Structure 1
Amino acid sequence: MQSPIQENPDTPEAGGIAALRQRYGERYRWILLGSVMVGTMASIMSSTIVNVAIPDMSRHFALGQESAQWVSSGFMVASTVGMLTTPWMLARFGYRRTYVMTMLLLMAGGIAGGVASEFWLILAARVAEGLSAGIVQPIPAIIMLRAFEPHEQGRASSLFGMGVVLAPAIGPSIGGLLVDWFGWRSIFFMVVPFCIASLYLAFRFVPVTSPGGGAAQRDAQLDWPGLALGAAGTLCLLNGLIQLRGTSHGSAVALLAGAAAAVVAFIAWQKRRQARGGSALMNLKLFTHRTYAMGTIVSFIYGTALFGSTYLLPIYMLLALELPAAHVGTIMLPSGIALALTIGAVGRITHRVPTHVLVSVGLAMLGASFVLMPTVPLQAPLVLLVTWVTLGRVGFGFILPSLNIGSMRTLDKTLIPHGASAINFLRMLGGATGVSLCAIVLEWRIAAHGDSLANPATSAARLAAFDESFWMLAGLCGLALLAAWQLKDRSPAARSAQ
């Protein structure tokens, strides 16, 4: 086996962390965080902004509902699987090359999608964008845990979170204007200026070194069998959930059974590979840390509730409360502002208040917002709906800055890249599950009440079906609360002394 390149990462020519820190001083870690935030915002925006273009795109390519859904599902599958490769990418290529490659891939996907003449090219572009987004999203958490002192990590997480939540907040609004003015193709080009800016920042401020602070390990091997099993399991799970929404229940059961078999095979393969001294795609030693293991459970369920509610709320406003489309954006705006402000405030106290308390408070508020949503009747003042939506987003604000940092704070630094990758992977997998789960439960309850979303007018039966879907999400928050209370670790004073 070839040995890693023994270049000195601290020389100016190597662009190592020490050299950049010496050049830019103590503010360098904040500059670095801001630099990767631009690329992360671009990747998050690419995941949400395309939704406003799907109706026009469907008409252009004469797509059915199932084909159109793969524009979003293809991105999510690729993003989820891509997160598993982040530790290997960083070890193999270092921070700068990994970040630059992901931004180039994201930009290529945007340009290809914008000029595509066939639908399969659209799907290929979305897969490329999803891979890029999946690889880049765990990187900020790794930087925050490595470059910042424990008492600074909360503040760094809050500043990063405030910036990142702006992407899904403003993306659809700007996207709607672009579709009206220039057509659906313009949506794909929106990420290009962000990618160009992130590439400029990468060559100036992102170090070439790997997470360990040394030279990138050019001989690092990717766990291809593990990646294939992870991809197969994710595809089977999401396809199985989609099939449950139709009439092919036999196919759904077979796909879900395949997903379960892939999970068992993946775990067995990771154990075998680690026992032989190989580099595993997911380091199973992570789950011997109770705080981290509980954090991944919370992250999965939280992802289910987050993405599920993001799917359910707009449909509820449009099809149950019969609000105009323009009102939906107006209603979500105050909650987005409240989310950003809450993240900023909570991030400043994460080193003083235990993680399990912050996460539990957030989950309780989120669950309460779901429980209270059925109290909004037809023709109710919008202020009541805004209040409950905002309550849930404030709950998200308590969870976002504290969950990842708190779950990984007890890990050895060598495990942090794998920890960030796995917890983000499970959150995204939960999110993909949540969207399908909400759709399945909603369609099931509407049919049980004798109604259909195809009917143009709302009804008491439809409102009852939505109410029961929100109660399901509240129940998930209750399950997450049980796991969140197990996030107890050492006292804040001890953590601050690290």
Structure 2
Amino acid sequence: MPALTLEDLRARYGERYKWLVLLTCMIGSVAAILSSTIVNVAIPDLSKYFTLGQERAQWVSAGFMLAMTLSMLTTPWLLMRFGLRRTYTGAIALLLFGGVVGGFSINYPMLLSMRVIEGLAAGVMQPIPAIVILRAFDQHEQGRAMGIFGFGVVLAPAIGPSVGGFLVELFGWRSIFFVVVPPCLIVFFLIRRFLPAYTPLLDKAKPLDWKGLLLVGVSIISLLNGLVELRGDVPQAIALLVLGVASFIAFIVYQLRTKAEPLMNVKLFSYRQFAMGALVAFIYGMGLFGSTYLLPIYMQVAMHYAPSRAGLVLLPAGIVLAVTIPLAGRLADRYPPNVLVCIGLAFLTASFGLMATGSPATSYFMLMTWAVIGRIGLGFVLPALNLGAMRGLDFSLIAQGASTINFVRQLGGAIGVSMVGIVLEWRIAVHESRQALGIDNHRSAFNETFFLVAVLCGIAVVAAWYMRANQPAQETGISTNAAK
């Protein structure tokens, strides 16, 4: 089918066209998130196969998130330069390549390289649905659209570990990499049918800010490696952490002074609700992704469940989440988003706090119940966080805002995964030094790590309360310009 123009497609599909575009973006995001979360249930098997400790095994997840964090900053430029159709097609092709080749990995460096490639593709895709929603939907529809999008996106991490657990048991860890193939092929079909030949969402493209990308890349890589080295070479760790902080400061200064199109428009942080939303997104990312990495390992290593049962513990929580998130999306159209985010984070804090009390007497049903509490919280946070942070932005800053808020959340997630892996390894070592390692020592180390995640989410509740707009959203022109 030859690619049609935007006007032709709108004439053919009418009012439902924006929903079809959102569906296309949603399925691609589901594939990306699936590739991110499904591998966590296979970490114990990967650790045995490649002889990895927790400090190296966590890079299977952290490496993906690191690449995802960096590449999402390039999304506005890619949309300006290539348009939605070509940008999304390239990202899906890269994700498919990383998944298929990753499944045939013969060593750990090859596996890690493919995870990085998958992360690069996922990062480009992540900000696009929020951009589509805030540009194509009227304000009274944005919460519902975000809720429907969130329904699809959260279905992936809910079902992913369950499917992944069975695949690992039946076919081994390689099989989980091939899960992205069906959704990627579906998206290729939808792109050809619903995305126009060339639709740059922004103004004329400027050169990509390579200097800024290099500075932030050096910063993030140095910070994550510095965290890992804290368990080994402390002087080297301090040097890497100092380099990471210095590089990030240099990145911010450069973004303020550059005449090129900045990767991160610092003007965004002059909006109080965006600045507080970014802080919430960072802490929330640390807690959410850190716990997503931690829970399947906890179920297998500390609670001694098979991979299939370890993944299945999240399935009821996923069903509850699927019901919660559309409801929360509608509530986001009626109530202040910061209130909904606070409620959601409070539920997440409670869930992780309960996980920290796990003992030999804790039943499988109880673990499911605690996971359900956390997913209810997640359902309240997801639709409201982006809307609450970006509703007050100037119309011209929406694409940059969507990219930046996702960047900050993923940066928190990458640091959270690394921190959880490092803290867990440290606490296991502490308990080993006290007595011979056994099941109780493992469980104690996990409980202490879950408590850390609960504290992080509790801090985010305070930040979320101040995520209120300085001005009414209608003054920004989002509603009046949405159909343009």
Structure 1 and Structure 2 fold alike (TM over 0.5): yes
Conserved? CA contact 2:282–2:412, under 8 Å: yes
Deviates more, 1:407-416 or 1:170-179: 170-179
| Change over 3 Å in CA distance of 1:29–1:451 after alignment to 2 | farther
| Change over 3 Å in CA distance of 1:43–1:19 after alignment to 2 | same
**3-state SS, counterpart of residue 96 of structure 2:** helix
Pick one of 332, 354, 360 that aligns with 1:378. 360
Conserved? CA contact 1:354–1:492, under 8 Å: no
Q: Which residue matches 2:255?
A: 270
| Per-residue CA distance 1:76-117 (angstroms, 9 max, x = gap) | 211110011011101111111100111111122223223444
| Change over 3 Å in CA distance of 1:453–1:229 after alignment to 2 | farther
Letter in 2 for 1:250: P
Q: Distance in 1 between matches of 2:44 and 2:363?
A: 30
Pick one of 402, 405, 415 that aligns with 2:387. 405
| Change over 3 Å in CA distance of 1:367–1:51 after alignment to 2 | closer
**3-state SS, counterpart of residue 190 of structure 1:** helix
Q: Which residue matches 2:136?
A: 147
Q: Which residue matches 2:324?
A: 342
CA drift of 1:62 comes to 5.7
Q: Distance in 1 between matches of 2:473 and 2:261?
A: 34
Deviates more, 1:441-450 or 1:223-232: 441-450
Q: Distance in 2 between matches of 1:146 and 1:232?
A: 33
Conserved? CA contact 1:15–1:209, under 8 Å: no
Q: How does 1:305-324 map to 2 (within 5 A)?
A: 305-323=287-305
| Change over 3 Å in CA distance of 1:476–1:121 after alignment to 2 | closer
Q: Which residue matches 1:297?
A: 279
Pick one of 16, 19, 25 that aligns with 1:27. 16
Conserved? CA contact 1:229–1:265, under 8 Å: yes
CA drift of 1:440 comes to 3.3
Q: Distance in 2 between matches of 1:447 and 1:60?
A: 22
* Unpaired stretches in structure 2, ≥5 consecutive residues: none
Q: Which residue matches 2:450?
A: 470
Identity of aligned residues (%): 53
Say yes or no: does 1:228 pair with 2:208. Answer: no
Deviates more, 1:110-119 or 1:408-417: 110-119
* Unpaired stretches in structure 1, ≥5 consecutive residues: 1-11
Q: Distance in 2 between matches of 1:328 and 1:338?
A: 18
Q: Which residue matches 1:42?
A: 31
Deviates more, 1:311-320 or 1:89-98: 311-320
Q: Which residue matches 1:9?
A: none
Say yes or no: does 1:211 pair with 2:201. Answer: yes
| Change over 3 Å in CA distance of 1:70–1:477 after alignment to 2 | closer
Q: Distance in 2 between matches of 1:62 and 1:372?
A: 32
Q: Distance in 1 between matches of 2:294 and 2:44?
A: 18
| Change over 3 Å in CA distance of 1:301–1:128 after alignment to 2 | same
Q: Which residue matches 1:457?
A: 439
Q: Distance in 2 between matches of 1:377 and 1:426?
A: 35
Q: Distance in 2 between matches of 1:136 and 1:165?
A: 15
Q: Identify which of structures 1 and 2 has the higher relative contact order when contacts are C-alpha pairs closer than 8 Å and 6+ apart.
A: 2
With normalisation by structure 2, the TM-score equals 0.90
Letter in 2 for 1:483: A
With normalisation by structure 1, the TM-score equals 0.88
**3-state SS, counterpart of residue 84 of structure 1:** helix
Letter in 1 for 2:394: D
Q: Distance in 1 between matches of 2:250 and 2:435?
A: 40
CA drift of 1:119 comes to 4.2
Conserved? CA contact 2:317–2:368, under 8 Å: yes
Q: Distance in 2 between matches of 1:198 and 1:330?
A: 27
CA drift of 1:185 comes to 3.4
Q: Distance in 2 between matches of 1:175 and 1:34?
A: 24
| Per-residue CA distance 1:168-223 (angstroms, 9 max, x = gap) | 222233334444444443333322222221111112212321223x7xx3x52100
Say yes or no: does 1:107 pair with 2:96. Answer: yes
Conserved? CA contact 1:294–1:486, under 8 Å: yes
Size of the aligned set, in residue pairs, is 477
Q: Which residue matches 1:170?
A: 159
